[in-house]
Amino acid sequence: MARPDYKRRPNVHAEDATQIVGDALDQIWEQVQPLIGSVTLSALFASAVRRTAAAHPELAGLHVGLHGVDRASLQSAVEGLDAKSTGPALKELLQALLVLFEALAGPILMNRAIPSVIKAEQQLSKLGAEA
Amino acid sequence: LKAKSHRSSGGKAVLAHLVGATMMPQRLKDLQRDMTELNVLHAFASAVSERLDREKILQAVSEHLPRLFDYDVLALLLDSSHPEIFVFGAGQAAPSVVQQATRGLLDTHELLSGRHIHEKDVKIRGDVSKREPAKAREPLRSQLSMPLVSCGENLGGIGMVSHRAAAFGPVDVQLFSLIAYQLGAAFRNALLLKETWERAVRDGLTGLFNRRHFSERLEEEFRRSSRYKHSMSLVLLDVDHFKNVNDTFGHSVGDRVLQAVARAMEQGSRKTDVVCRYGGEEFALILPETALDEALILAERLRKLVPALSQKVPGLDGHVEISLGVSSTWGCEGALKVEELLDRADGSLYQAKRQGRNRVCFYSPIDGRVQSIQGKVEMRRRPRHVAQLPVRYTMVPDLGPQALRGRSADVSADGVRMIVAKPVATGTFMVLDLGKPNEPMRVLIKIVWCRPAEEEGRHALGAQIVSFADGAEPRFRQMLTTLGLKNLARPITEP
């Protein structure tokens, strides 16, 4: 049986963080999906998750379907994150998406996603400060 | 107030009408463009969904996409164990533009799939060698890429670049992603079809073509050779004492031996040859456009290659040898049935086994007998650079009934080495390469078979002389006279 990690801080803001990032991802999906379709966008989301999971393996379980990110898997992924790394990890996820959008179509896709990303990042920073 | 309000709303309506009227041509234009795009998109979607062949899908890309997008270069990456990039429009673009387009596509693919592909590992196809026009020297200002995704799998990507700033807008993104989606599905279907086909025609253990495919291809090649009066040959081979290998070293070693034989056959044959596992430890090679002499060279090469490769098989103490039977349509084009060709190769293989194994036997169309070439023919590889030289003379000597019998090995005249012929069986001789390019006389005599001329029972020898160095031709003629082979050379073109 694995020994509990006593140094790990409980992620008390997991629910709030999930709400913030989940909403941001939903908004991005709504903005970008009409342009590039569900299949491609789903591949981009999955790619962003994979890239972020390289540094934060807890996010590897985040499931992306043809309707966007699965909230339940997001919730459990965020709960798996250390409280300290929740904000940075989720910000990295959003940034990874922006990088992909920029690489594919320059500002056309990125500009649609930026407002949601900025808003979510501000909320996450605030949440981190409260913690 | 009411009147003012009424006037005001009436004015707005008039204004709206006027604006609408001035906007009409633009709206019409937009509508026409939309209709055109829709038609092209429909044509493209129909084309790629109907075509299950990769090359045909690429053809649809090249036909339809220039009508939808204004790009300098379009590149399409198909990721696999041997990644390929197909470049379209490169004829109008500078090499640097093509390079930027392909590099950009590879970078985007790496971002998306996490797979790094080095440029040198990619086979780039398309016309990328044309001259650089002035337009394309401008720096690239716009690019648009999309992944080729199907069933959650990233198959590659498609990207286009332009020297114009903001060349691609949201509508282009929308259309391009639709195109990428269609292409992803089409390439996946093509891939699945190919995989299914491969499974149906390949042998699971060796990866060679299976017997069913062998039968189909044999019929097909035989029909082609009969129709165009070209030679084709068939080689059947069997691993000697294979049962002993299984009994002594176990079946897993036996399997590895069969795999080693398969690799030797692939290595020793040419790209155009059809290499098959005939069943058990028997293999077959279909050699299109190949006369008997060339087939025997190949068979002999395999006979030597298999022991060399099989001794590296883990668990096998020693090596295995093979027996081969060869038959050909050579000399009997049109008068042979495919079953006879197969029977002759099979009979020759049987003879090779009976005569002690580890040898090549062949069916001689001259006397209808099965003969062995074991230990009688020294195989030489024709130098590639010689083969590429133009033919200057064709020799068709009339040698007389017994002229070549027993004559063999090196004949020297005036310092020029000439290997004339070696008897390999009764009535048949193998003529080997003659001369070297660095020697004063550069001559190639193509390996040919001597066979009786139709009525007189004389031997005819066909050969090709490539070229002569200065002053070498008279010496060559002198040498032939000395050998009693004068008046053989009939010029095709004057040297």
Residue B4 confidence class, pLDDT cut points 50, 70, 90: very low
Given this model, what pLDDT does residue B483 score?
52
* ipTM at complex level: 0.85
Residue B404 confidence class, pLDDT cut points 50, 70, 90: very low
Question: Comparing C-alpha atoms, which of B217, B197, B216, B144 is closest to residue B174?
Answer: B144
Q: Which residues of B touch A101 (CB under 8 A)?
A: none
Q: What is the mean pLDDT of residues B32-38?
A: 82
- Would the pLDDT of B442 be above 50? no
**CB distance B300 to B422 below 8 Å:** no
- Condensed to tens digits (0 to 9), the pLDDT of residues B240-295 reads 999 999 999 999 999 999 999 999 999 999 999 999 999 999 999 999 988 887 88
3-state secondary structure of B422: strand
Question: Comparing C-alpha atoms, which of B430, B419, B420 is closest to residue B371?
Answer: B430
Residue B372 confidence class, pLDDT cut points 50, 70, 90: confident
Given this model, what pLDDT does residue A75 score?
92
Given this model, what pLDDT does residue B3 score?
43
Percent share of chain B, pLDDT over 70:
66
CB distance from A50 to chain B under 8 Å? yes
Ranges of beta strands (E only) in B339-382 are 360-363, 370-372
C-alpha torsion angle, residues B25, B27, B28, B32 (rounded to 10): 140
Given this model, what pLDDT does residue B135 score?
53
**CB distance B140 to B97 below 8 Å:** yes
Given this model, what pLDDT does residue B179 score?
93
Q: What is the mean pLDDT of residues B453-471?
A: 41
Residue B415: CB atoms within 10 A of its CB come to 9
Pairs across A and B, CB distance < 8 A: 64
The whole-angstrom separation of Cα B79 and Cα B85 is 9
- Token pair of B360, please? 């090549």
| Average predicted confidence (pLDDT) for chain B | 74
**CB distance B363 to B397 below 8 Å:** no
Cα dist from B433 to B258, B297, B316, B384, B405, whole Å: 34, 13, 38, 12, 18
Q: For chain A (length 131 residues), average pLDDT per consecutive 10?
A: 53 84 96 94 94 93 92 92 88 95 93 95 83 55
Given this model, what pLDDT does residue B49 score?
79
The whole-angstrom separation of Cα B89 and Cα B211 is 43
Q: How many alpha carbons fall within 13 Å on the CB side of residue B226?
A: 12
Q: What is the mean pLDDT of residues B173-197?
A: 91
Residues 6+ apart with CB under 8 A from B110: B116, B117
Ranges of beta strands (E only) in A22-127 are 64-65, 68-69
CB distance from A60 to chain B under 8 Å? no
Ramachandran angles phi, psi of B38, nearest 5°: -65, -40
- Condensed to tens digits (0 to 9), the pLDDT of residues B88-110 reads 886 667 777 788 888 889 999 99
Q: Which of A87-96, B172-181, B423-432 has the lowest mean pLDDT?
A: B423-432
**CB distance B324 to B237 below 8 Å:** yes
How buried is residue B310: exposed, middle or buried, by Cβ count under 10 Å (0-12/13-18/19+)? buried
> What are A96-99's contacts with CB under 8 Å, separation 24+?
A96/A47, A96/A48, A96/A51, A96/A52, A97/A28, A97/A44, A97/A45, A97/A48, A99/B111
Given this model, what pLDDT does residue B469 score?
47
- Condensed to tens digits (0 to 9), the pLDDT of residues B299-318 reads 988 999 999 999 899 999 88
Residue B73: CB atoms within 10 A of its CB come to 28
Given this model, what pLDDT does residue B367 score?
64
- B145, B154, B181: residue with CB nearest A37: B181
Mutate to test the interface with B, among A97, A108, A112 (most CBs of B within 10 A): A108
The whole-angstrom separation of Cα B328 and Cα B313 is 32
- Would the pLDDT of B419 be above 50? no
- Token pair of B490, please? 């009939």
Q: What is the mean pLDDT of residues B479-488?
A: 52
The DSSP H or E segment spanning A42 is helix A14-53
Q: Which residues of B touch A48 (CB under 8 A)?
A: none
Comparing B469 with B51, the larger pLDDT belongs to B51
Q: What residues of B are in the A interface, CB distance below 8 Å?
A: 107-108, 111-114, 142-147, 149-150, 152, 154, 168-170, 173-174, 177-178, 180-181, 184
The β-bridge relationship of strands B451-452 and B153-162 is: unpaired
The whole-angstrom separation of Cα A129 and Cα A95 is 20
The whole-angstrom separation of Cα B431 and Cα B445 is 7
**CB distance B255 to B239 below 8 Å:** no
